Amino acid sequence: MTLHEPKTRPSAFITHESLGRMRVPSFDDVRAALDRIGAHVIRTPLIRSTALDRIAGAPVWLKAENLQVTGSFKARGAFNALLRLSEVERQRGVVAYSTGNHGQAIAWAARCLGVPATIVMPIDAPRNKVARALAHGARVVHYDRRHESREAIGMRLLQDSGGTLVPPGDHPDVLAAQGTVALEALDALPPASRENLGTFAAPCGGGGLLAGCSLVLDALQPNARIAAVEPFGFDDTARSLDSGTRELNGPAAHTLADALQAATPAELPFAINRHYLSEAWAVTDAEIATAIRFALIELRMVVEPGGAVALAALLAGRLQFGGQDAVVVLSGGNVDLSVLAALIQADDGLADIERPSRASQNL
């Protein structure tokens, strides 16, 4: 766990170590992104659960991005980035690298807009995410995440195609559109709940979702705490907040949350998150599994491991709201069916779901 005191606001530009000078998006960019993509993505609901409120000791509003187009919030950033391309750039195509959700979101957006797309995905990426990218007509290039650099492969593909790189984190238009998750959530909250909002919590891999949402919260709800939740072994954002520099995860690290297996925080998101994040937590695979089963039983919803980590932190008693309203993001629902079946059949954690007071005792 990391408790972090937010600092001054980020500068307007950063110098990316490989992509050069890069603009830091603003709150105005988030509003413009919502206007741009509003007709193409789902305005996902805020969901309440009396069982979850009881566990948290506070009103909890779940932002259900698992119900989004392509099954995750990534559809927002992908579509916004491709809409911002010129006609010439669209004809040349795009290259993206992804553990899965960003890749299939780019593939979907590219199909909608008639743009050729190549997605660089790890060889051990979930089969359902690879299949979705291929079904949308994208070319998929696999790599070994333990021995190869997806960024280096992406740059080589760009040289061959003359296309445009659309990475999952280091892209202003992607980050701006991810921030629409928070913009929609704040707009949907009842006035009294918005006034009482104390915490906004979301999953964190490369950090793009929280970076975009932080721009909104800083502008509209500056007193709310912003919490990042990561899997154990991939707590690079928490460690980076402690050290002040981007930390790497160990090469042997493994997690059930495949969508959050970033090697290190992306540069542009971290340039924002280091100023705005209030706290960061890590959860175990067992706690993630408990959250997935809770979502199935109590919410009647499918949430993938990476999408369930913030819920897992709440159920495990790590996130504490002090009676104030909280928004917790369920960031995706693209779980492989074989993984879901194994989690449903497993016994570990079922007692925690059936007796939610066990989690509340930790609050």
Mean pLDDT, residues 31-37 taken together? 98
Return the pLDDT at 197: 98
Return the pLDDT at 162: 87
Mean pLDDT, residues 137-166 taken together? 87
Q: Percentage of the chain surpassing pLDDT 90? A: 77
Return the pLDDT at 330: 98
Contact between residue 242 and residue 190 where contact means Cβ atoms under 8 Å apart: no
Mean pLDDT, residues 228-234 taken together? 97
Return the pLDDT at 356: 34
Quickly state the pLDDT bin for 6 (edges 50, 70, 90): low
Residue 160: DSSP 8-state: H
pLDDT at 225 over 50: yes
In 3-state terms, the chain is what percent helix, strand and coil (to 5)?
45, 15, 35
pLDDT at 360 over 50: no
pTM for the complete prediction? 0.92
Who contacts 115 (Cβ-Cβ below 8 Å, separation ≥6)? 82, 85, 90, 91, 93, 94, 109
Buried b (16+ CB within 10 A) or exposed e, 281-318: bbbebbbbbbbbbbbbeebebbbbbbbbbbbbbbbbbb
Nearest partner of 203 among 125, 283, 137, 278, judged by Cα: 283
Q: Percentage of the chain surpassing pLDDT 70? A: 93
Sole residue written with tokens 């954002």: 237
Contact between residue 224 and residue 202 where contact means Cβ atoms under 8 Å apart: no
Mean pLDDT, residues 240-248 taken together? 95
Return the pLDDT at 5: 67
Mean pLDDT, residues 157-182 taken together? 94
Residue 332: DSSP 8-state: B
pLDDT at 122 over 70: yes
pLDDT at 354 over 60: no
Return the pLDDT at 132: 93
Return the pLDDT at 355: 33
Q: Using CA atoms, how far apart are residues 41 and 20, in angstroms rounded to an integer?
A: 31
Residues in the chain: 363
Quickly state the pLDDT bin for 99 (edges 50, 70, 90): confident
pLDDT at 358 over 70: no
Domains of the chain: 2-73+173-360 (3.40.50.1100), 74-171 (3.40.50.1100)
> Nearest 10 degrees: CA dihedral of 344, 349, 355, 357?
-130
Residue 306: DSSP 8-state: G
For the chain, the straight-line distance linking the first and the last C-alpha, in angstroms and rounded, comes to: 15
- Tokens standing for 72? 């995750």
pLDDT at 357 over 90: no
pLDDT at 215 over 70: yes
Mean pLDDT, residues 111-120 taken together? 96
Residue 127 main-chain phi, psi, to 5 deg: -60, -35
Region of poorest pLDDT, from 111-125, 144-158, 208-222: 144-158
pLDDT tens profile 299-324: 999 999 999 999 999 999 999 999 99
Return the pLDDT at 91: 95
pLDDT tens profile 272-296: 999 999 999 999 999 999 999 999 9
CA-based torsion, 288, 233, 155, 32: positive or negative: positive
> Nearest 10 degrees: CA dihedral of 242, 236, 75, 341?
-130
Q: Using CA atoms, how far apart are residues 309 and 319, in angstroms rounded to an integer?
A: 11
Return the pLDDT at 316: 97
Return the pLDDT at 41: 98
Return the pLDDT at 114: 97
More confident: 36 or 7: 36
E strand or H helix that includes residue 54: helix 50-56
